[in-house]
Amino acid sequence: MGVGAAAALGVAGCSASGQDGGEGQRVKNAAPARPKLIGDGSTAHYGKQPHQPGAPERLEAGQTPPQFVIFSWDGAGEVGNGLFPRFRKLAKDHGAAMTFFLSGLYLLPEDKKRLYLPPNNRPGASDIGYLSDAHIRETLDNVRQAWFDGHEIGTHFNGHFCSGRGSVAHWTPAQWKSEIDQAMGFVTKWKTHTGLADADPLPFDYGKELVGGRTPCLLGQENLLPTARELGWRYDASSPGGLQMWPRKKQGIWDFPLQQIPFPGHSFEVLSMDYNILANQSKNSTKAPPANYPGWRKQAAEAYISGFQRAYETNRAPFFIGNHFEQWNGGIYMDAVEEALKHVADERNKDVRLVSFRQFTDWLDVQDPGVVRKLQQLGVGQRPAGGWKSYLSATA
């Protein structure tokens, strides 16, 4: 629902649990009962976010790095199909944190759409649909609870323009600044725009919460990054076609691309996102003949699991998975990502951490630069020479 489609195969459609207290484990802390409202009361200061890991620590000499896995969601709107709460519950059941890239327009009523001035497009235009008042309320409820559950709220920007003269691929840094300012405004002024005066505020200061995003259809990153850097963002997840290697920075910002992963039954690899798997299975059709669904569901789950296993057993590169709250081809991709998350969270994988992009960035930023450089030198599926103890014992 509400997501753009890629024109070609291989291009994105828009785009560990434990006891409380240890580093990389989730710490419980309650939000204050009386929040301090911000602006019109659409957002508020609730204090420290609950269910966050302990302070990140540097790897010790020769220590095996954890296997980080980040599940992320583009759009993050709830339209009555129950997918947002389904995956919040799944995450809670398995001690996982995720990143939800919220589309700003999902908090703007359609009768106020002309407040949106998209670059190179007419006022109010959007290639994703505006939500009904009821679905705006449901989206607010789920975003609010997601933050209390410990998840990150990023941005998927607004109108999702992927093709033509108005595509985000052609936007300038100044136009990206306008788009971001508007997305911020829709999130921080939804009470003014919707009239939902009785609804509770979103429990965060979005100006501080927002430190990264993913562009529509994974387009336009080059001109987004200068603006993101000026805004103090810490990462961007918009790159297409990345490899399962440790990330590097672009223009001073961590670059977290969707990754090429094994595609069972094929000699080529597929991008780690539901739409790209669909594009290679049903040629962009979201309602293919149901007889295909069981085999495709199995193939999609095995692709995610194969990508995880390859990293976990070799270079320990972080594994990035992107999805949408969608019901394409009978909902098989939602079932596949649930199966993959359960596999990843298996208690046998003691050094696996299911985190948000923000939490992973926190960990990266405290590591010894020499250790990070050594990690970045490992290729896809490459084991460290002599094992981790030898490989990371000296980083000069």
Q: Which residue has the tokens 């295909």?
A: 292
Are the CB atoms for 162 and 168 separated by under 8 Å? yes
The 10 Å CB-count burial string (b at 16+, else e) for 308-331 is: bbbbbebbbbbbbbbbbbbbbbbe
For 185-237, what is each residue's pLDDT tens digit?
999 999 999 999 999 999 999 999 999 999 999 999 999 999 999 999 999 99
For 353-366, what is each residue's pLDDT tens digit?
999 999 999 999 99
Tokens standing for residue 179: 């788009």
Say whether pLDDT at 17 is over 60: no
Task: Reply yes or no on domain 72-238 having CATH 3.20.20.
Answer: yes
Are the CB atoms for 147 and 205 separated by under 8 Å? no
Helices (H) and strands (E) in the chain, counts: 12, 14
What CA–CA distance (Å, rounded) separates 279 from 301?
A: 15
DSSP string across 98-137: -EEEE-GGGGS-GGGGGG---TTS-TT--SSPPPPHHHHH
Radius of gyration of the CA atoms of the chain, in A: 20
**293-313 and 332-344 helices, crossing angle to 10°:** 30
**Sheet with strand 253-255: strands edge to edge:** 235-236, 253-255, 249-250
**Amino acid letter, residue 151:** H
If one counts every other C-beta atom within 10 angstroms of the C-beta of residue 359, the result is 23
pLDDT at 32: 53
For 285-300, what is each residue's pLDDT tens digit?
999 999 999 999 999 9
Are the CB atoms for 74 and 322 separated by under 8 Å? yes
Q: β-pairing, 99-102 with 152-155?
A: parallel
What CA–CA distance (Å, rounded) separates 144 from 348?
A: 32
Q: Which pTM does this prediction carry?
A: 0.92
pLDDT at 31: 54
For 65-79, what is each residue's pLDDT tens digit?
999 999 999 999 999
Q: Is the dihedral of CA 285, 289, 293, 295 positive or negative?
A: negative
Are the CB atoms for 372 and 362 separated by under 8 Å? no
- Which helix (H) or strand (E) segment holds residue 37: the answer is strand 36-38
pLDDT at 241: 86
What CA–CA distance (Å, rounded) separates 138 from 125?
A: 23
Q: β-pairing, 249-250 with 253-255?
A: antiparallel
What CA–CA distance (Å, rounded) separates 5 from 138?
A: 25
pLDDT at 33: 61
Instruction: State the average pLDDT over residues 226-254.
Output: 97
Are the CB atoms for 185 and 177 separated by under 8 Å? no
Say whether pLDDT at 257 is over 60: yes
For 160-184, what is each residue's pLDDT tens digit?
999 999 999 999 999 999 999 999 9
Q: What are phi and psi of 32, to 5 degrees?
A: -65, 150
Say whether pLDDT at 247 is over 90: yes
pLDDT band at 4 (very low <50, low <70, confident <90, very high): very low
Say whether pLDDT at 30 is over 60: no
Q: What are phi and psi of 5, to 5 degrees?
A: -115, 145
Average pLDDT, the chain: 92
pLDDT at 350: 81
Say whether pLDDT at 143 is over 50: yes
pLDDT at 152: 98
pLDDT band at 349 (very low <50, low <70, confident <90, very high): confident
pLDDT band at 90 (very low <50, low <70, confident <90, very high): very high
CA distances from 98 to 5, 36, 74, 143, 267 (A): 23, 26, 11, 12, 31
Q: What percent of the chain has pLDDT over 90?
A: 89
pLDDT at 20: 35
What CA–CA distance (Å, rounded) separates 358 from 204?
A: 15
The runs of H, that is alpha helices, within the chain are: 83-93, 133-148, 173-188, 190-194, 206-209, 221-230, 274-282, 293-313, 332-344, 357-365, 369-376, 388-391
Tokens standing for residue 56: 């990140």
pLDDT at 178: 98
Domains in the chain: boundaries: 72-238, 260-321+334-396
Instruction: State the average pLDDT over residues 38-60.
Output: 96
What CA–CA distance (Å, rounded) separates 69 from 391?
A: 22
pLDDT band at 34 (very low <50, low <70, confident <90, very high): confident
21-30, 39-48, 312-321: which range is least confident on average? 21-30
Are the CB atoms for 13 and 114 separated by under 8 Å? no
Say whether pLDDT at 22 is over 50: no
Residue 315: name the closest of 379, 227, 238 by CA. Answer: 379
Q: What are phi and psi of 106, to 5 degrees?
A: -70, -5
